[in-house]
Amino acid sequence: MKDDSTFACPHCGAELPARAKFCRHCGSSDEDGWKTESDELDADDDFDYDEYVREEFSENTVVSSKLKTWQIVVILLILGSMSLWVLG
Ligand SMILES: [Zn+2]
**Ligand 1 centre distance from Cα of residue 6 (Å):** 13
Q: Give percent above pLDDT 90 in the chain.
A: 18
- 15-55: pLDDT as tens digits: 998 888 888 888 888 887 777 655 555 555 667 778 877 77
- Is it the case that residue 2 has pLDDT exceeding 80? no
- Closest among 53, 12, 3, 15 to 34, alpha carbons compared: 12
- Closest among 33, 30, 27, 31 to 12, alpha carbons compared: 27
Residue 58 confidence (pLDDT)? 73
The sign of the CA dihedral 48, 49, 54, 57 is positive
Residue 15 confidence (pLDDT)? 92
The β-bridge partners of 6 are: 17
Expressed in angstroms, the distance from the first to the final Cα of the chain is 76
pTM (two decimals)? 0.35
**Ligand 1 centre distance from Cα of residue 24 (Å):** 7
Highest mean pLDDT, choosing among 33-42, 65-74, 75-84: 75-84
**Ligand 1 centre distance from Cα of residue 12 (Å):** 4
**Ligand 1 centre distance from Cα of residue 41 (Å):** 17
Mean pLDDT of the chain: 79
